[in-house]
């Protein structure tokens, strides 16, 4: 009986090693064949804004409703609200989340879509460079592009591009357009609460936009609390400010 167990153990090691070598080979080939498209080709596809001499807007020309703003013009509390909502360890973590990938794979095996647990870098790779299809092939490309992004760009550059590409529903892309659409003001004028609302909506506008469908307001309130709690736990807002929210 011991001999049989040992044989099965050795066979398992051989099979495991074989699978690892095959997986590493496939990943290596994919790494060198998948390239990052020009980030500006997507980020710069913003609408052209036409203004009167006094700066008021006449209209917009272009396929997408977007206004790009540099990271320096996006207030820290809005940045932190987004991090609290989507990836609070963004500045210390790697390009991808192993646990998130495992959850996505398990969900896919159960018949669900391949999703969940993505870092901000992964989300940016998916939004800016890939199709909305959710399958293994696209997930591998997302992973590789995320790794290459973190090798070529700083965290601040990735965050800036991400904040200018994320979708808030109602045809609005980027935090500046989202702020204008939901609150009628620029991103740098948002209050803490408004920043947290905007950050709460971005994960799934159709699920959290309070004007989209019945039940969204309750879900938004729960998501808002999650964002504010994370901000407080990370000491991005003081106890006194937290109590006033």
Residue 164, in any domain of the structure: yes
Reported as a single tens digit per residue, the pLDDT across 8-42 is: 666 666 666 656 555 555 556 555 556 666 655 55
> Number of folded domains in the chain?
1
Reported as a single tens digit per residue, the pLDDT across 209-232 is: 998 888 999 999 999 999 999 999
Residue 39, in any domain of the structure: yes
Q: Which residue segment(s) compose the domain that 225 sits in? A: 33-239
As to burial, measured by CB atoms within 10 angstroms (0-12 exposed, 13-18 middle, 19+ buried), residue 61 is: exposed
The conformational region for residue 7 under phi > 0 = left, psi -120 to 50 = alpha, else beta, is alpha
Residue 25, in any domain of the structure: no
Residue 245, in any domain of the structure: no
Nearest-angstrom CA–CA distance, 119 and 122? 5
What's the CATH code of the domain at 178?
1.10.3810.10
Using an 8 Å Cβ cutoff, are 50 and 61 in contact?
A: yes
pLDDT of residue 170: 86
Q: For residue 115, is pLDDT > 60?
A: no
Residue 173, in any domain of the structure: yes
Residue 20, in any domain of the structure: no
Residue 23, in any domain of the structure: no
Residue 68, in any domain of the structure: yes
């Amino acid at each position: 009986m011991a001999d049989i167990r040992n044989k099965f153990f050795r066979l398992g090691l051989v099979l495991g090693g074989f699978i690892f070598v095959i997986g590493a080979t496939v990943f290596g080939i994919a790494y060198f064949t998948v390239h990052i498209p020009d980030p500006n080709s997507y980020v710069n596809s913003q609408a052209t804004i036409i203004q009167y001499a006094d700066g008021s807007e006449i209209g917009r020309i272009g396929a997408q409703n977007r206004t790009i703003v540099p990271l320096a013009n996006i207030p820290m509390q809005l940045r932190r609200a987004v991090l609290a909502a989507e990836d609070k360890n963004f500045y210390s973590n790697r390009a991808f989340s192993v646990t998130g990938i495992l959850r996505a794979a398990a969900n896919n095996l159960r018949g669900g879509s391949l999703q969940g647990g993505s870092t901000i870098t992964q989300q940016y790779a998916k939004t800016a460079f890939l199709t909305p299809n959710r399958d293994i092939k696209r997930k591998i490309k997302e992973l590789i592009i995320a790794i290459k992004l973190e090798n070529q760009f700083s965290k601040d550059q990735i965050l800036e591009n991400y904040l200018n590409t994320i979708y808030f529903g109602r045809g609005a892309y980027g935090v500046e357009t989202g702020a204008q659409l939901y609150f009628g003001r620029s991103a740098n004028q948002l209050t803490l609460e408004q920043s947290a609302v905007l950050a709460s909506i971005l994960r799934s506008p159709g699920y959290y936009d309070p004007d989209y469908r019945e039940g969204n307001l309750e879900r938004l309130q729960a998501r808002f609390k999650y964002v504010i709690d994370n901000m407080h736990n990370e000491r991005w807002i003081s106890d006194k400010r937290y109590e006033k929210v």
